[in-house]
Amino acid sequence: MASIRDYDHLIKERPVVQPPSFFSDAGRRRIIFQLWDWIEERTYTLHLYITRDTPSGWQTQHGISIYRAVLREELTAILEGVGFVRVRWMLPAETGFYQPLVVAMAG
């Protein structure tokens, strides 16, 4: 079982930001968000920002990575190509999880 972003949908919208998420662990708060700079149709630079509430004040970390949008059909072909069988996609409407899930059996 694995999960990927719903790139089948996202490459049509080409979002530039993922809204902030807020977390609190043991009284320490974190804010996490992403900016997406699209380079090509299916490639983007992801900027990950993590802002933490620390004893000395708020501190932000920034990381950068290049992402490639892999479509469900593409990942299905890869899985089948390396021997997985009964590849099945389960979408958020079915699972309640926010991203598509793929389930496959080792052949």
Q: Structurally, how many domains does the chain consist of? A: 1
Taking only the tens place, the pLDDT of each residue in 40-56 is: 999 999 999 999 999 99
**Global pTM value:** 0.84
Closest CA to 90 of 64, 72, 70: 72
| Statement: residue 61 has pLDDT above 90 | yes
Q: Which domain holds residue 30?
A: 2-106
Q: Per-residue pLDDT for 25 more than 90?
A: no
pLDDT at 4 over 90: yes
List, for residues 75-103, the tens digit of each pLDDT value. 999 999 999 999 999 999 999 999 999 99
Q: Where are the beta strands (DSSP E) in the chain?
A: 2-3, 17-25, 28-40, 43-54, 57-68, 84-90, 101-106
